[in-house]
Every structure is written in structure tokens, then in C-alpha cells.
Structure 1
């Protein structure tokens, strides 16, 4: 099984909370602050940070799925 980040870009409100929670996995575009997924399939070492980012996203634009 692998972990996969799903990101609904139109829902993103550019809060930056995902970047603060998981800076190795998320970043923000310079021009509008919309999130960028750097690692779509994060390893187990990053999962706790990604779960936190998913939980605190104010727009519910992130999901973590196991495939």
C-alpha cells in the first residue's frame, strides 16, 4: 500500500497551514499563495505531518488516501 495526497486546488484559500504542518510535502505559489503538492506519495516518515495538514486545512482541500 502507498499513501497518496489528493489536492482540490480550486478549494484552496491560500492559508499556508499545510506548509507549516508539512513543509517537506507542501509549498505555496509565489504569485497567489495557492498550495503546491511537492510529494504526491509521501513516505511513512511524513504521514503524521500530512495528516495534520489535512486536518487543519480550513478549506478541506486536502485528502490522504491509502492505495
Structure 2
């Protein structure tokens, strides 16, 4: 996700992925050249649990991300 997106827009995209089991692509401020792709499994106040996807189809583990870093 772009750095220019508001935090509320990022939260809406995360919630949309959670509700519809829709893949989402995330960019973290701590690693702007890397993108994480997956489906949101849990969404908390400060953290998101992402089921990582490999090649847009295969599950590849889990990743916990701090929402403030997105």
C-alpha cells in the first residue's frame, strides 16, 4: 500500500480482506522495497495477522504486522 494512503483507508482495506477473504498487498514503512501479499486472518487495534500467499495462490505461513508500519 502506498505511504500516501490514510490510516483509515488502510484499515478499510484490511477489514475488506478479512471479511471477504480477499488477497491484499501490503508495503511496510520499515521495508518499502518489499511487498507482502496475503489474506487478513485477524485484525486487532494495533496488529494484523496475515496468511501469506506465494505466487498468489499458495499459503506460505503467517506474518504479524504492526498496522502503524503500513
User: Which TM-score applies when normalising by structure 1?
Assistant: 0.30
Q: Which has the higher strand share?
A: 2
In terms of fraction of residues, the more helix-rich structure is 1
Q: Report 1 or 2 for greater relative contact order, CA contacts < 8 Å, sequence distance ≥ 6.
A: 1
